[in-house]
Structure 1
Amino acid sequence: MRMTHVVRIEDLSPHMRRIVVGGEALEDFPLGQEGAHVKAVFPKPGEKEPKLGLMLGAKKWMRSYTIRTFDEHKQELSLDFAVNDHRGLATDWASQAQIGDLLGIAGPGPTKYTNYQAHWHLIVADLTALPAAAAALEKLPTNAKGYALIQVPTTADIQPLKKPKGIELNWVIGPYQHKNLLLEKVQQVEWLNEEPAIFIAAESAQMQEIKLYIKTKPGYQKKLTYASGYWKA
């Protein structure tokens, strides 16, 4: 585990805040891990310094976050937080974060994307998984083809993303509470031939509905599919 401190804060949109942490503890942080996750270790409410270690109850103060970028020269790690949409340990910390605040970092863990060289790709993500989707798009080869469907609350939350020309990017605008807008969009996709690499990350129940649908489609392979409930309504 590494102790870092906040060096920069950038509001990317009304519901997404980038917090860049740095420090000498990142000197040996591995390269090329964008899209993988770290465990962010937060201070307990009312305290300034997180407790590092795997003591009893430690997991209560940890949350998984995607590595958006890492600058080895500046020793700076960028994490994007969904904010102003719901309350919780991580979102509350990110909403109130200030330069110099301390954050523990454990990991990184493995990258979840199943096959960057697949015949085609289907990436489905809500606001909380936008950083992971963005990192995956950046790592796809230039000849990649397929679809990326990303849901955000408002048009102001749309971000410029780097992607191959063959990936059709569709922004799904609207709240998650009333219906599964991502599922509706997936059902409209023209399913391509051969086996796709599939990445689904969204609210847990909605992710399950999308997964059940895609399992009925031709070319679906469990080994090429990553599906995760990033949070629960």
Structure 2
Amino acid sequence: MLDRQRIRHDLRVREVTVSAVSQISPSMRRITFSSPTLDDFLAPGPADHVKLFLPDEHGAINAPAVDAEGRLRRPEAPLISRDYTPRAWRAAEGGHEAQIDIDFVLHEGGPATNWARAAAVGDHLVIAGPRGSRTAPLEAARAVLIADATALPALARWLETLPGRTVIDVIVWGSDEADAEYLDVRLRTRIASLNWVPADAPSSALEDAVAGIDFETGTFVWAAGEASALIPVRRHLRGLETLDRRDLDVQGYWKRGVVALDHHAPLDPSDPE
């Protein structure tokens, strides 16, 4: 089993302000948040996530708070929240406050997409977490990374975090070819092979792409995206004798037909961990 450190963080809830908005690919919008509360922000794991608390139809943001004893206090009003990977963090410098970038996929709708489409400099949000991190396996000789559009920010972080000696194969599925520009030249130089499975490919295309890889002993595999599509992928990977199950990290970021999927829930209840 490859070594991956688990790190627990103090529970933090931060009020942040939009300081920049940019369209970085046809379906991906980057929102930069600034705040002095981000000075001690830590997210060393490539797939770390924070929880964004979004405004309701009246513009009110209902969010939890941390009391003096470090316990989380939830408001009585309903919470509207979604999980996102922090793409980058920058320390306060040159007159600007500490910043983080969050990349939003602009899909067919939903509270996060609708907020991101209309976001402007000066808008406010509340961000909580991350509660914990799991670091990259820095001694891995090879890694296979599998992502859909919602997992592209985490994929980019994996490409930045894994050491240069790690050979990296990448499969991206369910995304338009135009979104390939999200992975810039700097990131692409880290990829040994890239298989881009388009959004209109047959439902079996992802599984076929994974089955076409020769997984060597000691390979690390990370996969994230739409949960239903990843179930047969994980079953295939777990059946390979060359892979240690403890070196498989498969996460359902969302599930078709399910609102606000808890990505900590079992990917496939019929196939337990």
TM-score normalised to structure 2 length: 0.76
- For residues 129 and 180 of structure 1, the distance between their equivalents in structure 2, rounded to whole angstroms, comes to 19
Report if the CA contact (8 A) 2:19-2:32 is conserved: yes
Question: Are 1:114 and 1:224, in contact at CA under 8 Å, matched by a contact in 2?
Answer: no
Aligned length in residues: 230
Identify unmatched segments of 5+ residues in structure 1.
none
Moved more, 182-191 or 112-121: 112-121
1:101 aligned partner: 123
Deviations 1:185-233 (A, max 9, x none): 1122232x21221111011111111101111223222211111111111
Superposed, 1:108-127 pairs within 5 Å as 108-112=130-134, 115-127=137-149
Task: Return the offset for 1:111.
Answer: 3.4
Q: Which range is displaced more, 119-128 or 35-44? A: 35-44
1:186 maps to 210
Shift of 1:21: 0.4
1:132 aligned residue = 154
Hey, what's the Cα distance between the residues in 1 that align with 2:41 and 2:136? 23
Distance 1:126 1:38, change over 3 A: same
- 2:49 counterpart of 1:37: yes
* Residue 49 to residue 119, structure 1, CA distance change in 2 (3 Å): same
User: Could you tell me which residue of structure 1 aligns to residue 187 of structure 2?
Assistant: 162
Residue 180 to residue 99, structure 1, CA distance change in 2 (3 Å): farther
Asked if 2 retains the 8 angstrom alpha-carbon contact of 1:141 and 1:164, the reply is: no
Percent of residue pairs bearing the same amino acid type: 27
Separation in 2 of the partners of 1:119 and 1:196?
Answer: 7
Q: How does 1:12-91 map to 2 (within 5 A)?
A: 12-30=24-42, 32=44, 35-53=47-65, 54-55=73-74, 60-73=79-92, 74-83=97-106, 85-91=107-113
The one-letter code matched in structure 2 to 1:218 is E
Aligned partner of residue 43 in structure 1, secondary structure: coil
1:57 shift after superposition: 6.2
Bigger Cα displacement from structure 2, 3-12 vs 29-38 = 29-38
Could you say which structure has the larger radius of gyration?
2
1:31-72 Cα offsets, whole Å, 9 max, x none, are 645541111111112215443434156784121110110001
Shift of 1:146: 3.4
Q: Given that residues 168 and 190 in structure 2 are in contact (C-alpha distance below 8 angstroms), is that contact kept between their aligned partners in structure 1?
A: no
Q: 1:107 to 1:169 in 2, by over 3 A?
A: same
Structure 2, unaligned runs of 5 or more: 1-12, 66-72, 257-273
Report the TM-score, using the length of structure 1 for normalisation.
Answer: 0.88
Deviation track 1:172-197 (CA, whole Å, cap 9, x = no partner) reads 22247x51432221122232x21221
> Structure 2 CA distance, aligned partners of 1:6 and 1:28?
18
Matches of 1:157 and 1:47 in 2, distance apart? 31
Cα distance change on mapping 1:62 and 1:101 into 2, 3 Å: same
Which whole-Å CA distance do the structure 2 matches of 1:175 and 1:113 have between them? Answer: 34
Q: Over residues 109-163 of structure 1, what are the superposed CA-to-partner deviations in whole Å (9 max), with x where a residue is unaligned?
A: 3334652322311110000001011101110110101311112532211121525
Greater displacement, 213-222 / 161-170: 161-170
- Please tell me the root mean square deviation across aligned C-alpha atoms, in Å: 2.3
